[in-house]
Amino acid sequence: MDIQISPCSPDAAAALALIGQATFLETFAGLIAGRDILQHCAQAHAVTQYQDWLSDPRYRLWLTELAPGAAPIGYMLVAPAQLPLPDISESDLEIKRIYLLSKFHGGGLGKKMLTQAILYAQQRHAPRLLLGVYAKNSEAIGFYQHAGFQQVGTRKFNVGGVDYDDYIMALPL
């Protein structure tokens, strides 16, 4: 299977919105009420949101596709860190989103995507790479710990008026 992880071109907003909605639904169906997932996806994964990020040089997005220009199966967004930490630095970067359709988990693609984010952060001389992860997602937490991330804080993530607990994890660079 020809799978490619590539920086997004300015015309990738529709593909990013599609894979963003699909992976959010797949990840949180059964944990978050259906109407809340739909409302969240309509706002947080709108084509216009991705267009805004694609036009902002502080944001970097990647698509993981079955082949160049083919079906998107994952994506990633790295941006300036905006997390509730007392020692946050303007130079810190955050993986705001990193998702891969579950049928592609376990084949090393997640690790390759994470490696792209780490390399990007190192090239930008970020002191650390941060991310938020649902506190009950032990598989993802283990994945990040295996890559060297450690928990440095917590936050609340609100979807549909309900707060969910997230861990904030950091990788010193």
If 0-12 CB within 10 Å is exposed, 13-18 middle and 19+ buried, where does residue 86 land? exposed
**Domain containing residue 9:** 4-126
**Residue 15, domain member (yes or no):** yes
The per-residue pLDDT for 126 is 98
Q: What is the mean pLDDT of the chain?
A: 95
The per-residue pLDDT for 89 is 96
The answer to whether residue 68 scores a pLDDT higher than 90 is: no
The answer to whether residue 69 scores a pLDDT higher than 80 is: no
pLDDT in tens, 121-139: 999 999 999 999 999 999 9
**Residue 26, domain member (yes or no):** yes
Which of these ranges, 15-19, 104-108, 140-144, has the smallest mean pLDDT?
A: 104-108
**Residue 138, domain member (yes or no):** no
**Residue 170, domain member (yes or no):** no
The per-residue pLDDT for 2 is 87
- Rounded CA-CA distance 31/27 in Å is 9
How many domains does one find in the chain?
A: 1
The per-residue pLDDT for 111 is 96
Q: How many CB atoms lie within 10 A of CB 26?
A: 13
**Residue 54, domain member (yes or no):** yes
**Residue 48, domain member (yes or no):** yes
Whichever domain contains 8, its CATH number is 3.40.630.30
The per-residue pLDDT for 88 is 96
The per-residue pLDDT for 67 is 78
The per-residue pLDDT for 146 is 97
pLDDT in tens, 34-57: 999 999 999 999 999 999 999 999
**Residue 103, domain member (yes or no):** yes
**Residue 157, domain member (yes or no):** no
